[in-house]
Amino acid sequence: MTTDEDELYDADEDPYEDPYALALRPGRGPVYLRLDDGRRIRMPVHRWHEQPTAADNTVLERCTGPVIDIGCGPGRMCRALLSQGVFALGVDITPRAVALTTALGGLALRASVFDRLPAEKGWQTVLLIDGNIGIGGDPHGLLRRCGGLMAPAGRLVIEVDPDDIEELCTVRFEDLQGHSGPPFPWARLGRRALRRVAEDLALSITDQWTSGHRSFLTLAHRRSKPTTTHEEGDLNEGNCGNRPGRGNSWDDPDGAARAVRSDQRRHRPDSCIGLRPD
C-alpha cells in the first residue's frame, strides 16, 4: 500500500537541486554540513523524522500559542503543538519540507523567514531550533527579523551550539558518498555569542537551559514582561489563545490559517501544500 508520505519520499526529482532536500529523505544515511575549510558536521536528520525527544519537549512546554516554527523541516514540532491544541505554523523554503509537514498533519507555508509572513508582530512564540540560528549566515539580521514577528509580550526560543563558538561560514549539505549541493551562508553560535547579539538588538534573555547535549535560550523584547508559564486556556494579548481562530486578516494571528489559505488561492498558489479546509 502506497501512502501520500511514501509518494513524497519516492517522488522523481533530483535531490541535489536543493541542498536541503538531501536531508529530507529518511533512510538515506548520514547527512553532513561541509564547511568551506574542510570540516564537516553531522546533521541530526534522524531527529527531524521522529517524535519529539525529551529535549524537544522542554521546548514544547515553553510554547504559548500562536507559534511560528522557522525552518520547520518535516514539521515535528508544529505537529506536536497542534496535537496539544496549540496553534502552530511551520515555515520552510523547501517544497518537500512543506509537503511532508502537511502530509503528516501539520500546517506549513513555503517561504523564507525574510518574506512577508502572516501575523507579523503577533506571534507569541517564535521557534529557531535544530541549528536554525544559522539561517542566512547573519545572526543579527535573523534575530532582528524574528523580533519583528514576535508579539510585544512574545518570546523567541532558540537552540544554540553547546560549545562556546561564534562562526560565520559557507557550507554545503553532503551525504556519505560525498555528493553535495551548492554552497550557502550559515552561522554557528554558542550561548555567549548569542547574548552579545541579543544585547545589540535590545532583546533580554528570560530563560536558559540544557537538556542532554543540547542548549537553549528564550529571548523577549526588553520592555515586555516575560511570560514563563503556560496556563491551560490562557489567552494572549491578541485574544489568540491556543487554538486557530476564525479571522481572515493576514495581520491577525487569530486568523493565520485562513490567511495562509487565502494567500495560497489569490497570490501564491505554489506557496502552500496540503492545507486543509476548516
106-164 pLDDT, tens digit per residue, is 999 999 999 999 999 999 999 999 999 999 999 999 999 999 999 999 999 999 999 99
Q: How confident is the model at residue 257 (pLDDT cuts 50, 70, 90)?
A: low
Q: How confident is the model at residue 269 (pLDDT cuts 50, 70, 90)?
A: very low
Lowest-confidence pick of 149-153, 171-175, 199-203: 171-175
Backbone angles phi, psi at 92, to 5 degrees: -150, 150
- Partner residues linked to 188 by β-bridges: 167
The three grid cell numbers given for residue 61, joined into one nine-digit string: 512546554
Helix 139-149 vs helix 191-200: angle between axes, to the nearest 10 degrees? Answer: 60
| pLDDT value of residue 18 | 58
| pLDDT value of residue 174 | 87
Query: For residue 270, how many other CB atoms are within 10 A of its CB?
Result: 9
Q: Kindly tell me if the per-residue pLDDT of 245 is higher than 90.
A: no
Position with higher pLDDT, 248 vs 13: 13
Cα separation, 64 vs 38, in Å, equals 40
Summary mean pLDDT of the chain: 79
Question: Of all residues in the chain, what percent carry a pLDDT higher than 70?
Answer: 71
| pLDDT value of residue 22 | 66
Q: Which of 205, 199, 201 is nearest to 218 (CA)?
A: 205
| pLDDT value of residue 219 | 98
pTM of the model: 0.79
Q: Which of 21, 22, 31, 41 is nearest to 188 (CA)?
A: 41
| pLDDT value of residue 31 | 84
Q: How confident is the model at residue 181 (pLDDT cuts 50, 70, 90)?
A: confident
The three grid cell numbers given for residue 43, joined into one nine-digit string: 546533521
Q: Which of 147, 127, 154 is nearest to 217 (CA)?
A: 127
Q: Kindly tell me if the per-residue pLDDT of 227 is higher than 90.
A: no
Question: Of all residues in the chain, what percent carry a pLDDT higher than 90?
Answer: 60
Q: Kindly tell me if the per-residue pLDDT of 180 is higher than 90.
A: no
Torsion over CA of 109, 115, 117 and 121, rounded to 10 degrees? Answer: 140
Query: What is the sign, positive or negative, of the torsion defined by CA atoms of 245, 106, 211, 40?
Result: negative
| pLDDT value of residue 28 | 64
Lowest-confidence pick of 58-72, 132-146, 236-250, 255-269: 236-250
37-92 pLDDT, tens digit per residue, is 999 999 888 888 889 999 999 999 999 999 999 999 999 999 999 999 999 999 99
With beta carbons less than 8 A apart as the criterion, state whether 219 and 195 touch: no
Q: What is the mean pLDDT of residues 173-189?
A: 88
